């Protein structure tokens, strides 16, 4: 490993470079390797090496010479087999069961701001409900003039809305409060995704049933085995919420709530009730388990913040990352994502020296409110250790805090709403580590 | 005017327009009514609503008729819950602990349970009935739910051994941490213009994820809740 690094500057054959890259990858993944990553990466690299020798110029590769598979070989298209490692992954010890558990979006492997449907992280509380849309209804009742049942087909006949939003679990980065813990951006930040939703405005549906004067809260309930519930204030319900039936142009994936889910823009993912079956109007919140026992933020004085729905501005560098070690000195595109539940991202700054000096990154449009925003920063790596961070500012002027600033307000036991600045340390051998700065 | 007010106004205006039209004997053009309504969906009958309307509020709204004793609850708990939560709610393996933890919320390792953390007894009733036993949701009858909730309150020293939980007395139970929650009335951080150059003298790395080296079979730190 060390020797490899020493002659990094010597002229290299492609094969030699690949070897080095493989070595660096293994080095960078010591931590992540324990989470089951390095095997996949190393194997993938090894698999490409021999084939490449027969395919690079001047050779004529097999795929240029022989016919490929015909249409319909894959009626529903899948990514290339060379991308097989780009999947959602979980950390088994986090939860007692697989049915009430979570996995993580591979942020390190994605470009742009839209998350592919099959890579959107999953969080279930009673397993994945497999709902037959013909047998599913949305019930709206309580303090309404006309309690109604809607079929999914009914919902599609209402005027349609198409909007992009990020969804972040309130517990995203929740393992990092006590110190740098998980060595991979997939694990530290992967409980976020961003897709385009198609559906009907919740406001339209509430007008359809007619609200009684005293109605002030909406209880949303899922049809899964957890019958997941959250209380949502009517003001938010009438603002920008949707009942969505599609994501990224196709029907919702089962794990994202097929056939319908609630979309609560900018708010913690737990409120976006999947497999939505019921909306009840009431004059008070219900204080359900998911808004008392869970999703409340315990402070050092023993008191807990409640109803902290909005996801504050947050950003993270997605490459380089522990999963994507540095390959070579020279030009590098630092890529990342920024988002805010309060609106649009205004600016992202990047530092490579742990926060002594910052430079403003480039935002890649469209920069939409309550949506992931892609940023890049063109950098030249001199092969020396570096400390990379990103810091975002949203349209309200809110500046993403450091962990120290956040801990001053919240201590280390609030679990939820960790939107602090993330540090990646680049080591001389090219590996990238999750570290905590003092 | 808040969004909410606007929506109320809109509803009010339509209602007024409709009643004026009726008073004057004018027929309302269907398109006008459709400004507010599309006429989609079918009425939900009281029976349909009753089957799905399972939520319970702190003031008792939603609680069905019924009752259950601590003693009956203990039996049900041993049969239906203890495999995962332990005989006394102490939690088997990594399944949630359902008792104890009082006095730990302001300590380094707080233990959040029904007894130490939950603000309302209604939430216990609601959650157990809607989601437990894990994998056999909504299978407990009303009386069984009252009984098992009575047992959970008992092992948390909230009610005595002879207690019988009912629709009437459940909303009156004061949970130990009832006053432990607040809603924020101001933003956590104020906007400011962050420093861009020479922001600090030195940078110190105080922790490495690689050193902690968390592996799937070595539990460490807080889990996802």
* B112-138 residue pLDDT tens: 999 999 999 999 999 999 999 999 999
Q: Which of B41, B53, B54 to mutate to test the interface with A (most CBs of A within 10 A)?
A: B41
Q: Does pTM top 0.90 for this prediction?
A: no
Residues of chain A with pLDDT under 70: 1-52
In chain B, which residues have their Cβ closer than 8 Å to the Cβ of A35?
214-216
Cβ neighbours of residue A128 closer than 8 Å, sequence gap 6 or more: A122, A224, A254, A255
Q: How far is B208 from chain A (nearest CA, A)?
A: 4
Residue B222 lies in a domain: no
Q: Which of A185, A188, A203, A302 to mutate to test the interface with B (most CBs of B within 10 A)?
A: A302
**B25-47 pLDDT, tens per residue?**
344 434 334 457 999 999 999 99
Right CATH for A314-435 from 2.60.40.650, 3.70.10.10, 3.40.50.700, 3.40.190.10: 2.60.40.650
Contact predicate A317/A435, CB 8 Å: no
> CA A183 to CA A180: how far, in whole Å?
8
The structural domain count of chain B equals 1
Is the pLDDT at B217 greater than 70? The verdict is no
pLDDT of residue A36: 37
Nearest to A296 by CA among B58, B49, B180, B191: B180
Nearest to A323 by CA among A161, A106, A119: A106
Q: Do B55 and A354 touch (CB under 8 A)?
A: no
In chain A, which residues have their Cβ closer than 8 Å to the Cβ of B89?
none
**A389 beta partners:** A351, A423
In angstroms, the first-to-last Cα distance of chain A is 29
pLDDT of residue A95: 86
DSSP class of residue A324 equals B
Residue of A nearest to B109 (CA): A413
Domain boundaries, chain A: 90-304, 314-435
pLDDT of residue B220: 38
User: Does the fold of domain A314-435 match that of domain A90-304?
Assistant: no
Q: Do B216 and A356 touch (CB under 8 A)?
A: no
What CATH number has the domain bearing residue B123? 1.10.760.10
Query: In terms of CATH architecture, what is A90-304?
Result: Alpha-Beta Complex (3.90)
Read out DSSP for A72-139?
TSSSS----GGGTT-S-B--GGGSS-SSSEE-B--GGG--SSPPPGGGS--EESS------GGG--EE
Q: Do A305 and B184 touch (CB under 8 A)?
A: yes
E strands, chain B, are 42-43, 67-69, 164-166, 181-182, 205-208
Residue of A nearest to B38 (CA): A208
Residue of A nearest to B212 (CA): A181
Rounded (5°) CA angle B96-A167-A184: 70
Nearest to A94 by CA among B93, B224, B110, B84: B224
pLDDT of residue A175: 93
Q: Do A175 and B216 touch (CB under 8 A)?
A: no
> Which range of residues forms the domain containing residue B113?
53-172
Q: Do A174 and B130 touch (CB under 8 A)?
A: no
pLDDT of residue A28: 36
ipTM comes to 0.86
pLDDT of residue B32: 38
In chain A, which residues have their Cβ closer than 8 Å to the Cβ of B57?
282, 284, 286-287
Of the pLDDT bands very low, low, confident and very high (cuts 50, 70, 90), residue B17 is very low
E strands, A152-296, are 161-168, 192-201, 217-222, 229-233, 242-247, 250-251, 261-263, 276-282
| H or E element at residue B21 | helix B3-23
**B67 beta partners:** B166
pLDDT of residue B213: 61
pLDDT of residue A436: 96
Is the pLDDT at B9 greater than 90? The verdict is no
**B56-99 pLDDT, tens per residue?**
999 999 999 999 999 999 999 999 999 999 999 999 999 999 99
DSSP class of residue A421 equals P
B120 prior amide bond cis, ω within 30: no
Q: Do B203 and A437 touch (CB under 8 A)?
A: yes
> CA B200 to CA A357: how far, in whole Å?
8
């Amino acid at each position: 490993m060390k020797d490899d690094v020493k002659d990094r500057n010597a002229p290299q054959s492609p094969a030699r470079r690949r070897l080095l890259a493989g070595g660096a990858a293994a080095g960078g993944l010591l931590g992540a390797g324990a989470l089951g990553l390095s095997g996949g990466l190393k194997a993938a690299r090894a698999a490409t090496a021999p084939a490449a020798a027969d395919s690079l110029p001047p050779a004529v590769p097999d795929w240029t010479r022989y016919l490929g598979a015909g249409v319909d070989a894959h009626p529903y298209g899948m990514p290339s087999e060379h991308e097989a490692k780009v999947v959602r992954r979980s950390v088994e010890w986090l939860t007692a069961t697989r049915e009430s558990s979570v996995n993580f979006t591979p942020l390190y492997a994605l470009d742009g701001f839209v998350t592919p449907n099959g890579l959107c992280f999953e969080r279930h509380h009673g397993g994945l409900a497999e709902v037959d849309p013909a047998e599913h209804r949305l019930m709206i009742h309580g303090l309404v003039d006309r309690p109604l049942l809607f079929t999914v087909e009914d919902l599609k006949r209402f005027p349609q809305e198409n909007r992009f939003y990020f969804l972040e679990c309130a517990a995203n980065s929740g393992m990092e409060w006590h110190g740098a813990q998980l060595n991979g951006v997939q694990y530290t930040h992967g409980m976020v995704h961003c897709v385009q939703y198609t559906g009907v405005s919740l406001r339209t549906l509430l007008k359809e049933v007619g609200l009684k004067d005293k109605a002030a809260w909406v209880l949303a309930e899922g049809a899964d085995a957890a019958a997941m519930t959250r209380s949502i204030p009517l003001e938010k319900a009438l603002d920008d919420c949707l009942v969505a039936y599609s994501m990224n142009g196709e029907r919702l994936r089962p794990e994202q709530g097929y056939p319908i889910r609630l979309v609560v823009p900018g708010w913690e993912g737990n409120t976006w009730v999947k497999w939505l079956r019921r909306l009840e109007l009431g004059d008070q919140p219900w204080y359900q388990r998911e808004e008392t026992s869970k999703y409340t933020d315990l402070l050092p004085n023993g008191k807990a913040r409640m109803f902290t729905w909005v996801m504050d501005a947050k950003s993270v560098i997605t490459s380089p990352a522990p999963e994507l070690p540095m390959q070579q000195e020279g030009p590098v595109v630092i890529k990342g994502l920024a988002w805010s539940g309060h609106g649009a991202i205004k600016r992202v700054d990047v530092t490579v020296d742990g926060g002594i000096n910052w430079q403003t990154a480039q935002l890649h449009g469209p920069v939409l409110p309550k949506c992931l925003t892609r940023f890049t920063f063109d950098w030249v790596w001199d092969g020396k250790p570096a400390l990379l961070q990103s810091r975002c500012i949203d349209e309200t002027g809110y500046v993403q805090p450091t962990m120290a600033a956040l801990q001053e307000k919240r201590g280390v036991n609030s679990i939820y709403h960790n939107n602090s600045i993330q540090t990646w340390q680049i080591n001389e051998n090219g590996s990238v580590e999750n570290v905590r700065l003092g | 005017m808040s969004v909410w007010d606007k929506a109320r106004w809109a509803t009010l205006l339509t209602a007024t327009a409709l009643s004026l039209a009726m008073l004057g004997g004018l027929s309302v053009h269907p398109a006008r009514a459709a400004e507010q309504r599309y006429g989609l969906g079918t009425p939900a009958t009281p029976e349909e609503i009753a089957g799905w309307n399972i939520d319970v509020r702190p003031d008792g709204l939603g609680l069905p008729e019924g009752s259950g004793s601590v003693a009956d609850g203990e039996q049900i708990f041993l049969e239906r819950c203890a495999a995962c939560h332990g005989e006394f709610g102490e939690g088997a393996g990594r399944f949630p602990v359902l008792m104890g933890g009082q006095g730990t919320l302001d300590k380094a390792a707080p233990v959040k349970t029904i007894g130490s953390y939950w603000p309302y007894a209604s939430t216990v009733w609601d959650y157990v009935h809607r989601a437990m036993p894990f994998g056999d949701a909504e299978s407990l009858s009303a009386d069984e739910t009252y009984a098992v909730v009575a047992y959970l309150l008992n092992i948390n020293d909230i009610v005595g051994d002879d207690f019988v939980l009912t629709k009437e007395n459940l909303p009156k139970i004061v949970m130990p941490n009832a006053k432990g929650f607040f809603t924020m009335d101001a933003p956590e951080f104020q906007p400011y213009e962050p420093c861009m150059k020479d922001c600090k003298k030195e940078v110190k790395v105080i922790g490495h994820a690689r050193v902690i080296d968390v592996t799937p079979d070595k539990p460490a730190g807080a889990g996802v809740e």
